[in-house]
């Protein structure tokens, strides 16, 4: 007598995405067919173009305008109420241009994920590409990380590096880095949704059975020695 295998109920994680602008990284997440439910997109700006993109994908949108609140604490409190109404497993910052209070970060400890346009811990904060060019670095990139109260210094999940070219401007370098942001951000969220990464007691990201190439990236390219 044949028995059908019992179905396994796998809990699908729910995420809320926070944006402030065009939402290109949000779009990358929406297009990635992630194994999760995107419950809502929330912006601190009513004129954020990313809100219309989310609506086109049938995603619920909300606005919590920071200008309507006298201080960061009151804004973060209202934002938290909005987020909690969706009961998400993860809160993803996709170009959300607000510094969050320590109380807000503690409320969502190990649930807040951010993407930053530099190879952290180098160039935290703003104007990362211009600063990298000013310093003459040869390799630049982007980082997906957990958010902590120490801004742009949370545990690193994944990074992508690009060479800095001799004729780069902040705009050309930013465009090349953004292409990599669109690749690694969905990958990080997919790992989290599939429980393939975790945090150690030391606060470092641990990966389950994920391979690393071990190949170096050297820029400018080295010439081969002639015999």
Give SS3 for 90: strand
Distance, CA of 38 to CA of 57 (rounded, Å): 10
Confirm whether 145 is a catalytic residue.
no
200-205 contacts, C-beta under 8 A, 24 or more apart? 203/155, 204/155, 205/146, 205/155, 205/156, 205/157
Please work out, in degrees rounded to the nearest 5, the angle formed at the alpha carbon of residue 167 by the alpha carbons of 161 and 171: 65
Give the active site residue among 22, 66, 116, 226: 116
Give backbone dihedrals phi and psi of 207, rounded to 5 degrees, phi first: -115, 140
**How many angstroms separate the most distant Cα atoms in the chain?**
73
- Known catalytic residues are 116
């Amino acid at each position: 007598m044949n028995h059908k295998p019992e179905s396994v109920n796998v809990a699908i994680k729910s995420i809320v995405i926070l944006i402030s602008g065009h939402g290109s990284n949000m779009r990358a997440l929406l297009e990635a067919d992630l194994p999760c439910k995107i419950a809502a997109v929330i912006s601190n700006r009513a004129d954020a173009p990313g809100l219309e993109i989310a609506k086109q994908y049938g995603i619920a949108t909300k606005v919590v305008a920071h200008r309507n609140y006298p201080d960061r604490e009151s804004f973060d409190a209202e934002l938290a109420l909005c987020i909690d109404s969706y009961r998400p497993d993860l809160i993803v910052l996709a170009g959300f241009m607000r510094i969050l209070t320590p109380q807000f970060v503690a409320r969502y400890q190990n649930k807040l994920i951010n993407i930053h346009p530099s190879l952290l811990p180098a160039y935290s904060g703003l104007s990362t590409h211009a600063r990298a060019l000013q310093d003459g670095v040869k390799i630049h990139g982007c980082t997906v990380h957990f958010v902590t109260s120490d801004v742009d210094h949370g545990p690193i999940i994944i990074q992508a590096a690009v060479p800095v070219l001799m004729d780069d401007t902040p705009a050309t370098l930013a465009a090349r880095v953004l292409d990599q942001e669109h690749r690694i951000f969905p990958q990080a969220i997919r790992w989290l949704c599939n429980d393939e990464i975790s945090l150690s007691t030391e606060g470092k990201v641990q990966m389950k059975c994920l391979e690393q190439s071990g190949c170096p990236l050297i820029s400018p390219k080295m010439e081969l020695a002639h015999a």
